[in-house]
Structure 1
Amino acid sequence: MTAGTKPLSGRIALVAGATRGAGRAIAVQLGTAGATVYVTGRTTRAKVSEVGRSTETIEETAELVTAAGGEGVAVPTDHLEPGQVAALVDRIDRERGRLDVLVNDIWGGEHLVAAGFGKKIHEVNLADGLRMLELGVKSHLITSAAVVPLLIRNPGALLVEVTDGTADYNGTHYRENVFYDLAKNAPIRMAFGLSRDLEPSGGTAVSVTPGWLRSEQMLETFGVSEENWRDATEKIPGFGISESPVYLGRGIAALAADPDRARWNGRSLSSGQLAKEYGFTDADGSQPDCWTFLLAQEAAEGVSPADYR
């Protein structure tokens, strides 16, 4: 793909929460498609967030975006601080005069989920539970409230709420504990509401979920790397449906480049669904469909992840 044929050349994107995992991959894939991508997060080369992972920084993400063929701009931002988010929006407006894509991927609460996994509301540390809601809900609301005025200035903008689970799956399954369940269902409803706010300007808002994501943190948890991740399936066969962060990144880049994306407005989408629609694959050439697999596994015995890749 030459510079002249890149579908997102000239587009300006903001990936909020792009330090690692899905956010980093989304930013890089938007850059691969030619976009200028502002990447934000709390971990920089000078400061580490509460997640405690100094090995991934927003500066590195920005460099990866540029190396992929876009332009990466790292802006340290705590999205729970309205003043910092307002300053970010003002900078984008000053430097570019527009914003075409907002990806709300702010989270950083996996360490809180692990501590409260499967616990009842009174068993979860209340401070941890409320922190999940701050990270997964309040930060998204602060960001959208500040960014939408710039986003709707030009017709056809795209706003993506990244979450865990589709509306169909989360609507019938309880997710880990009440705090996590709320934190991951809220972005689905936010995208539905924001679709109404963007529609008059020709904009589109959707929620998008990866499947079982092989983030840097997840790979470490299972003691494998991206090169030998299948070794983990010996102990946990279901890990065979997992996907690399690249998969979701390609999905959102394809969505951003689709001139007819308004047909998705207000919808809950998944990486597997987008792959079938737009014809892309994961890094290994497969098309994992995690959420369909999970439902099929519940309905019948002997269902294999290999049948859904």
Structure 2
Amino acid sequence: MNFPLAGHVALVAGGTRGGGRGIAIELGAAGATVYVTGRSTRAVKSDLGRPETIEDTAEYVTAAGGAGIAVQCDHTDAHQVKNLINRITAEQDGRLDILVNDVWGGDALVHWAPLWQHPLEDGLTLLHRAVDTHLITSHFALPLLTAGRAGLVVEVTDGDEATNALFPDGYRGSPFFDLAKTSVIRLARIQAAELRRHDVAAVALTPGFLRSEAVLEHLGVTEETWRDGIGEDPHFAYSETPAFLGRAVVALATDPDVLSKTGQSLATWNLAEEYGFTDTDGSQPHWGRYFRHTLAPQLDTIVDELTQDPVR
């Protein structure tokens, strides 16, 4: 088997489920040692109440061909993150090649309402979970990447700059959600500017309509029966698995010229065409094309409908 990332060390912050889990597993399939972090363990669940755990993800990583290491860590807590990086430093002789900032935890905190009607505590908590966590993690992890004079930082977001610009006034319809996702894109650019001299690349990366565990559950389907959900949500026909996002990260991490992409806002669908990888069923879902041609002309109406309920 081909393990292009054998000997490489990765940290997937927020790897419990969804896109983070998909990234961790695909990095493992490429041979990497992957530290999988999050708040949900088999012993203690996070406030999200989901059944997925970091131990499960780590075991999937190992089964795929890598080495999965689960470490419970609340990335809003600088002390816990510092201890995590100290552990990686000790166990991996100071080596860290790939940092994936995928912490989110904000689904229940998003409200489609104007800033003055948005519950302030929810909004500030969302930013703390979705932006501060990335800053804290990079603060402690980047010295390892710079010391290695090579590496990749991936800031996982929702929407690239091209699709976000299609929204009315370039605004996603929810103030704190918009700030969280666009801030992460900006954070990738900031890190790119600072890391270039160390030969470390930093990019923002978005999936399309992601078939996460929560989305599948919401539509009452499984990954095996996901097409049954198209009747309830026709957009679901253009969705992609978390593995597709993971394969995008692997493609970037194994590209010897990845530094040419540093600072960019990237999308799975474009990278699939460039690098030639596919989703698990052999397809190349292109959410960007569907979004541009089908959803963009309806965005005024969609955003208006969402914001009719001020505390949805």
| TM-score, normalised by the number of residues in structure 2 | 0.92
Query: Residue by residue, what CA displacement relative to the aligned partner does 1:130-183 show, whole Å, maximum 9, x if unpaired?
Result: 111011111111111111111111122100000000012223422240000001
Partner of 2:64: 68
Give the deviation of 1:125 after TM superposition.
Answer: 1.4
Partner of 1:17: 14
Q: Quick check: 1:146 aligned with 2:143?
A: no
Give the deviation of 1:299 after TM superposition.
Answer: 6.2
1:181 aligns with one of 157, 178, 181: 178
Conserved? CA contact 1:207–1:269, under 8 Å: yes
Letter in 2 for 1:144: S
Secondary structure of residue in 1 paired with 2:147: coil
- Most deviating of 212-221 and 226-235: 226-235
Letter in 2 for 1:142: I
Give the deviation of 1:48 after TM superposition.
Answer: 0.8
Letter in 1 for 2:135: L
Q: Distance in 1 between matches of 2:130 and 2:83?
A: 21
| TM-score, normalised by the number of residues in structure 1 | 0.93
Partner of 2:95: 98
Give the deviation of 1:36 after TM superposition.
Answer: 0.3
Conserved? CA contact 1:102–1:160, under 8 Å: yes
Partner of 1:228: 225
Partner of 1:30: 27
Secondary structure of residue in 2 paired with 1:288: coil
Secondary structure of residue in 2 paired with 1:111: helix
2:254 aligns with one of 227, 252, 257: 257
1:218 aligns with one of 211, 215, 218: 215
Letter in 1 for 2:226: W
Question: 1:1-309 alignment to 2 at 5 Å?
Answer: 2=1, 5-53=2-50, 55-96=51-92, 97-113=94-110, 116=111, 118-173=112-167, 174-298=171-295
Conserved? CA contact 2:166–2:296, under 8 Å: no
Q: Distance in 2 between matches of 1:221 and 1:37?
A: 29
Letter in 1 for 2:158: D
Q: Which has the higher contact order (CA 8 A, sep 6+)?
A: 2
Percent of aligned pairs with the same residue? 52
Unaligned runs of 5+ in 1: 302-309
Give the deviation of 1:217 after TM superposition.
Answer: 0.4
Conserved? CA contact 2:40–2:54, under 8 Å: yes
Conserved? CA contact 1:51–1:109, under 8 Å: no
Unaligned runs of 5+ in 2: 299-312
Secondary structure of residue in 1 paired with 2:263: coil
CA RMSD of aligned residues (A): 1.3
Q: Distance in 1 between matches of 2:48 and 2:272?
A: 30
